[in-house]
Structure 1
Amino acid sequence: MEATQVKPKVSTSAPATPEKQAPKFKAPKKKRKWPKRLIILLVIVAVLALLLSRCMNAGSQIVSSAYLPYTTEMRDMTVSVSGTGTIEPIHSYKVTTLVSGEILEAPFEEGQTVHKGDVLFRIDSKDVESNIEQLQLNVQSAQLALNDLLETQSDNQKDRNLKAEDAGVITKLYVEQGDSVSIGAPIADVLDRDHMKLKVPFHSADAAGFYVGQTATVVVDGTAQSLTGTVDEIAVTDEVGPGGTLVRQVTIRVDNPGVLSETSRGTASVNGAACASGAAFAYASSSQITAKAAGDVETLSIKEGDRVSEGQVVGVLSEVDLDSQIENARISLETAQLSLKNAQEKLDDYTITSTIDGEVIEKNLDVGDNISGVSSSGTSVSYPAVIYDRSQLTFDMDIDEKDISKIQVGQKVEITADALDGESFTGVVDKININGTTTSGHTSYPVTVLVDGSPEELYPGMNVSAKIIVEEAGSVLTLPVEAVERGDTVLVALPGCLDENGNVADLSAVEERQVTLGRNDDNYIEIVDGLEDGEVVVALSPQGSSIMSAMGMG
């Protein structure tokens, strides 16, 4: 029989002990908390990732919204340079005057057309006219005084001239330039050694048939030499000659062959008739130049040995006092004439005429007013009258230094006026002023435009905008100017860049491309190379630039 193990039965009741024992302390087990914390951390990370993803998407959407799409297209381009100006008449005349006085005449009215040279104002000039009469008397008096002195000088001029009475050689000079001389003082001795004279008697009957200039034959004593001469002088009376015969003295002039002197003697015959007796030769002339007035030798043109001719002026005596008087008289006359001229010119100022053809825009003074600038009502005026020539209208516009080289005289100009909506006008460039104005390192140049046809709608003072047509470019590939903001590169939209509405959705789907730029007008720029018609370019909008700056990405 198999034995069966019997387990002892355990009593659930506390054993009977004489004392109650304290229960034994057991430490509680730690609970594991890290799985819970990990879960929390993962949740936080997931939330942050979600938020960051949303922020990035939002930021991407904001950045994308800062860009706008621009499509290239073919268009007719007109290259122009724009500016503004103020309409002015081609000519204007604002009346001014240098004189004052009461207006006696003002024969025109406001709105009237006047012509160049028409009288506008005639001013009382009685005081000036009286002054002119006195100045005319002053001129006459000064002229008479000068004439008297000049007449005196003319009379004295002959006496002041040092003149040779005969031809010959200066054998002695008594003075030098600058010397003072008195009346009758010797200046120089003149001797004619080239000619000799022989004065011999002829029987009166023979001499009666002679005449001055008649040929004569002269024989020098002691020589067989005969000379040809001419009768120079015939005495008018007879005298008793040798042997009691009646003779008449005849003077014969001969050229000196060089050997004759006043010691030589000779005889002569005329027309076969011989002289009654011989005589000594004499020099043809021997004279002295003397001073006929007192003064200083101002000029002297001779020296000893010089030859002079009959009547030659060899010097002049000064007459300082008379010259000084004449000079003062001339100055007085010139002063009087200048004063008269100025007064006469001033008289012209009392009659004001129009300098242009045009319309009277303002008439601020009338008969009875004072031309000094105050009307009869007591109000001051800037100008007595203003005249405009509106046959041609013009204006100036300032052109930037970067554009001025494009501007040429004769270019067409399109014009609009702020005050005339919907109306346009044309003109041409008339003048380019190279005298530029520089402000803050930036220079502009004034260009003058003439308006075609002088339209009546345009009034002086109206503000106008103008475009100078530089070039008609024709049909070219273009983009808006604001689409090209990065020099010669653009951002070309690739598939996915734009959403179904054509807005920029994904800025990463772009391609940076280099382009060649050409001409431009105010709104569009020509694309010469790098893009095709219809391609889309994205670029920052003006508002987008502000957004990017605010995000710190500008």
Structure 2
Amino acid sequence: MQVNPELDPQTEPETAPPAFQPPKKKPKWLKWVKRLIALAVAAALVVFLMRSCTGGGGTVSANTYRMEPASMQDLTVSVTGTGTIEPIHSYKVTTLIKGEILEAPFEEGDVVHKGDVLFRIDSKDVENSIEQAQIAVRNAQLSLESAQLSYQDLLDNQADQKTDLQIKSTETGVVNKLYVDVGDTLAAGAPIADILDRDHMKLTVAFHAVNTTSFYVGQSAVIKVDGSGESLNGTIDSIAATNSVGPGGTLVRNVTLVVDNPGALSDTSTGTASVGGVDCASGGTFAYAASGQITALTSGKLETLTIHEGDWVTKNQVVGSFEETDMATQIENARIAVENAKNAVQNAQLTLKNAQDSLENYTITSTIDGTVIEKNLDVGDNIDGTSTAGSSAGVSYPAVIYDLSALTFDVSIHELDINQIQVGQKVEITSSAVEGKTFTGHVDKVNINGVTTSGTTNYPVTILLDESDGLLPGMNVSARIIVEEQSTALCVPIEAVEQENGGTILLPGADAVYDKDGNLVSPGTIEKRTVTLGRNNDTYIEILDGLSEGEQVLIQNPVGSSFMEMAMGG
């Protein structure tokens, strides 16, 4: 039976636990006393060390320093870096050509030579393009020849054309009528002016043919004007070559006479004549000795006109001109046509050359001597023109060839060290993949195109291996570039030198204490000496002046920090 303790009178109540008593706090002044004591100890130690380093006359425990002698030794200065082995040359086949592979006469592991055929791709499409380009070149050349002929014709006719642009009088006489004015546009053959020679008249009369046999041009004649009966002296101007039938069926021959116009004669006057006392068989009508019409020899705009009606002109006198604009424009257009035709020929030839060059791309040859590392495409496969196929380290190529005759790698050199690196410097090379062996090489190239990251610039330096037995492309290596090798240099450990302000070292004082084995017990009054520094590597530094061989230098041992922890603790 369960008993409810609250109802059972026999149940004694439990005794309540004592109330929580917080621990008594230590007085604050005690904590501060401890801290002050620790700080005093630390300050005393700092003062002690400073006096020791500055030769302040105090003594320091031997545990604070160790001694190292200045010694003559070979000093090698070097710069280190890491890189990944690569072949000296490599050829990763790329192409933008599309087509089916017809030939691929090689396999992985084969040794190929520069110029050897790797792939031959179906080129029927580009061969058709070449044929079309050849036709285009021939057509362009024919067009050029035609344009050149047209241009030359214009140049050859330019002198004649310029002559035609001049307007000349066809006769000597008076401008009887003017048909045009400046600014008019005329067609070839259009009338410009009529010219009459009113000072001289001609009269054609018929003589019996039998009487004309003794006549000659220039022979004197007497002319009688009908109506006035006036007699005028003239001369024979011309004699007809043939006879004609005159009145009554007689044979006559026309004779033309020329006579000065006394002023009253016109083209309506008539008259008769006699030559050598022989009268003419019939008379005739007077005509002006010279009459003609000036016409345009070419078409164009009339630019000048120097005559007016009633003006006297002489034969071949220039009386006006046409503008030369049309001719000049034709010649310029023809010249431009020739230039365009030349450009068309050049473009067609360039297209042909590109097609022929493209045909060469359908045969892919090796650009180096080397070993085939990968072959990702074979006969019957299609190259899609994207340059890659298969897969190799995330990037794929139809084939990859390595020249393994030599191996190389790049190391990244800090900007503070790059000026020490020169082509030809010896390099010591190690690789974790080939344990226990050190390879040799030399600096092949120093690239001044640096890469800056976070304010620091590093420069790629190419190293060529002199030997590579056991190393393969892709292996990681460490390189030690020998910058300088100095024999018999006076050296001390680099940590013995304070390099700021030129260089200082610490030496045991004259009162230093040593044990029976020569080990330092107390450095005594420490001497601080200024020295001249030379070259250094990661371990030793050269002393050029201020120290002699065998002199002991002090190297400060690391100081523990427990007392500082105590000082800052509580």
1:343 and 2:358 are equivalent in the alignment: no
Please point out which of 352, 366, 369 is paired with 1:357.
Answer: 369
Please point out which of 102, 105, 120 is paired with 1:104.
Answer: 102
Q: Which one-letter code corresponds to 1:366 in the other structure?
A: D
Question: What is the match of residue 115 of structure 1?
Answer: 113
In the TM superposition, 1:5-154 aligns within 5 A as 65=63, 67-154=65-152
Q: Map Cα deviations across residues 286-322 of structure 1 (whole Å, 9 max, x no partner).
A: xxxx97897999xxxxxxxxxxxxxxxx997441554
1:528 to 1:374, Cα distance in 2 relative to 1, 3 A = closer
**Distance of 1:467 and 1:412 partners within structure 2:** 9
Contact 2:389 2:396 (C-alpha < 8 Å) held by counterparts: no
Question: What is the match of residue 333 of structure 1?
Answer: 345
For the residue of structure 1 that corresponds to 2:129, the secondary structure is helix
**Distance of 2:390 and 2:109 partners within structure 1:** 21
1:514 and 2:530 are equivalent in the alignment: yes
Question: What is the match of residue 482 of structure 1?
Answer: 495
Q: Map Cα deviations across residues 246-277 of structure 1 (whole Å, 9 max, x no partner).
A: xxxxxxxxxxxxxxxxxxxxxxxxxxxxxxxx
Q: Which one-letter code corresponds to 1:159 in the other structure?
A: N
1:73 to 1:322, Cα distance in 2 relative to 1, 3 A = closer
Question: What is the match of residue 469 of structure 1?
Answer: 482
Shift of 1:331: 4.1
**Distance of 1:337 and 1:545 partners within structure 2:** 86
**Distance of 1:463 and 1:129 partners within structure 2:** 48
Question: What is the match of residue 529 of structure 1?
Answer: 545
Q: Which one-letter code corresponds to 2:348 in the other structure?
A: A
1:405 and 2:419 are equivalent in the alignment: yes
Shift of 1:96: 1.0
Shift of 1:374: 6.8
1:127 to 1:352, Cα distance in 2 relative to 1, 3 A = same
**Distance of 1:69 and 1:180 partners within structure 2:** 119
For the residue of structure 1 that corresponds to 2:115, the secondary structure is coil
Question: What is the match of residue 291 of structure 2?
Answer: none
For the residue of structure 1 that corresponds to 2:429, the secondary structure is strand
For the residue of structure 1 that corresponds to 2:99, the secondary structure is coil
Shift of 1:405: 2.6
**Distance of 1:104 and 1:361 partners within structure 2:** 21
What percent identity do the matched residue pairs reach? 53
**Distance of 2:561 and 2:90 partners within structure 1:** 50
Shift of 1:63: 8.3
- TM-score, structure 1 normalization: 0.57
Question: What is the match of residue 27 of structure 1?
Answer: none
1:439 and 2:437 are equivalent in the alignment: no
For the residue of structure 2 that corresponds to 1:93, the secondary structure is strand
1:528 to 1:323, Cα distance in 2 relative to 1, 3 A = closer
Q: Map Cα deviations across residues 180-207 of structure 1 (whole Å, 9 max, x no partner).
A: 997689xxxxxxxxxxxxxxxxxxxxxx
Shift of 1:459: 1.9
**Distance of 1:468 and 1:374 partners within structure 2:** 38
**Distance of 2:560 and 2:299 partners within structure 1:** 106
Shift of 1:475: 0.7
1:547 to 1:505, Cα distance in 2 relative to 1, 3 A = farther
Shift of 1:375: 5.4
Where does the alignment leave 5 or more consecutive residues of structure 2 unmatched? 1-36, 50-58, 169-183, 191-214, 220-295, 304-323
1:156 to 1:240, Cα distance in 2 relative to 1, 3 A = same
Contact 1:91 1:356 (C-alpha < 8 Å) held by counterparts: yes
Q: Map Cα deviations across residues 77-133 of structure 1 (whole Å, 9 max, x no partner).
A: 223333333222222111111122221111122122212222111122222222222
Q: Which one-letter code corresponds to 2:483 in the other structure?
A: V
1:182 to 1:401, Cα distance in 2 relative to 1, 3 A = farther
Q: Which one-letter code corresponds to 1:481 in the other structure?
A: I
Q: Which one-letter code corresponds to 1:134 in the other structure?
A: Q
Contact 2:376 2:389 (C-alpha < 8 Å) held by counterparts: yes
**Distance of 2:427 and 2:562 partners within structure 1:** 39
Q: Give the stretch that moved more between structures: 122-131 or 332-341.
A: 332-341
Contact 1:413 1:467 (C-alpha < 8 Å) held by counterparts: yes
Please point out which of 154, 157, 163 is paired with 2:155.
Answer: 157
1:368 and 2:380 are equivalent in the alignment: yes
Question: What is the match of residue 404 of structure 2?
Answer: 390
**Distance of 2:378 and 2:494 partners within structure 1:** 59
Question: What is the match of residue 425 of structure 1?
Answer: 439
**Distance of 1:503 and 1:547 partners within structure 2:** 27
Shift of 1:437: 2.5
Shift of 1:392: 2.8
1:159 to 1:399, Cα distance in 2 relative to 1, 3 A = same
For the residue of structure 2 that corresponds to 1:137, the secondary structure is helix
Shift of 1:516: 2.0
**Distance of 1:550 and 1:180 partners within structure 2:** 116
Q: CA RMSD in A?
A: 4.9
Contact 1:485 1:539 (C-alpha < 8 Å) held by counterparts: no
Q: Which one-letter code corresponds to 2:424 in the other structure?
A: G
**Distance of 1:446 and 1:381 partners within structure 2:** 24
**Distance of 1:328 and 1:295 partners within structure 2:** 30
Q: Which one-letter code corresponds to 2:455 in the other structure?
A: G
Contact 2:61 2:521 (C-alpha < 8 Å) held by counterparts: no
**Distance of 1:70 and 1:532 partners within structure 2:** 13
**Distance of 2:112 and 2:189 partners within structure 1:** 77
Question: What is the match of residue 507 of structure 2?
Answer: 492
1:291 to 1:491, Cα distance in 2 relative to 1, 3 A = farther
Where does the alignment leave 5 or more consecutive residues of structure 1 unmatched? 1-47, 171-178, 186-238, 244-289, 298-313
For the residue of structure 1 that corresponds to 2:380, the secondary structure is coil
**Distance of 2:407 and 2:372 partners within structure 1:** 16
**Distance of 2:487 and 2:449 partners within structure 1:** 34
**Distance of 1:147 and 1:347 partners within structure 2:** 30
Q: Map Cα deviations across residues 352-384 of structure 1 (whole Å, 9 max, x no partner).
A: 11111222222122112222367599x996111
**Distance of 1:545 and 1:357 partners within structure 2:** 63
For the residue of structure 2 that corresponds to 1:337, the secondary structure is helix
